[in-house]
Amino acid sequence: MEDILHKTQRVLLLRNYSPKTCKAYLLYIKEYIIFSKKAGLKNKQEAIEDFLLDKHKRKQSPQTINLALNAVKFLYTEVLKNPQKIDLKFAKRNKKLPIVLSRAEIGKIIDATNNAKYKLMISLGYACGMRVSEVVKLRVLDLDIDELVVHIKGAKGKKDRISVLPKMLQDDLRNIIAGKNADDVVFISNRGDSLTTTSLQKMFRKSLEKAKVNKPATFHSLRHSFATHLLENGTDVRYVQELLGHANIRTTQLYTKVTNPRLKNIKSPLW
- Return the sign of the alpha-carbon dihedral for residues 181, 185, 189, 192: negative
The SS3 of residue 73 is helix
The pLDDT assigned to 261 comes to 64
Non-local CB neighbours of 158 within 8 Å, separated by 6+ positions: 16, 18
Give, rounded to a whole angstrom, the gap between the first and last alpha carbons of the chain. Answer: 67
pLDDT of 260 above 80: no
The residues annotated as belonging to the active site are 131, 156, 220, 223, 246, 255
Among 109, 122, 94, residue whose Cα is nearest residue 201: 122
The pLDDT assigned to 44 comes to 83
Count of other CB atoms within 10 angstroms of residue 55: 20
Q: Is there a contact between 136 and 194 (Cβ–Cβ < 8 Å)? A: yes
Residue 169: C-alpha distances to residues 183, 223, 251 (Å): 21, 17, 29
Residue 64: C-alpha distances to residues 25, 179, 265 (Å): 11, 44, 38
* Mean pLDDT of the 147-156 span: 88
Instruction: State the Cα angle at 145 between 142 and 151, rounded to 5°.
Output: 25
Structural domains in the chain plus CATH codes: 2-79 (1.10.150.130), 103-264 (1.10.443.10)
* Mean pLDDT of the 6-29 span: 92
- Return the sign of the alpha-carbon dihedral for residues 91, 92, 94, 95: positive
* Mean pLDDT of the 23-36 span: 93
Q: Distance between CA atoms of 198 and 136, rounded to whole angstroms? A: 10
Among 160, 98, 149, residue whose Cα is nearest residue 127: 149
The pLDDT assigned to 17 comes to 87
pLDDT of 263 above 70: no
pLDDT category at 178 given cuts 50, 70, 90 is very high
Name the β-bridge partners of 185. 139
Q: Distance between CA atoms of 110 and 119, rounded to whole angstroms? A: 6
- pTM value surpassing 0.85: no
pLDDT category at 158 given cuts 50, 70, 90 is confident
Q: Distance between CA atoms of 230 and 226, rounded to whole angstroms? A: 6
pLDDT of 76 above 70: yes
pLDDT category at 86 given cuts 50, 70, 90 is confident
Scanning 80-212, the segments in alpha helix (DSSP H) are 103-111, 116-128, 132-137, 170-177, 197-210
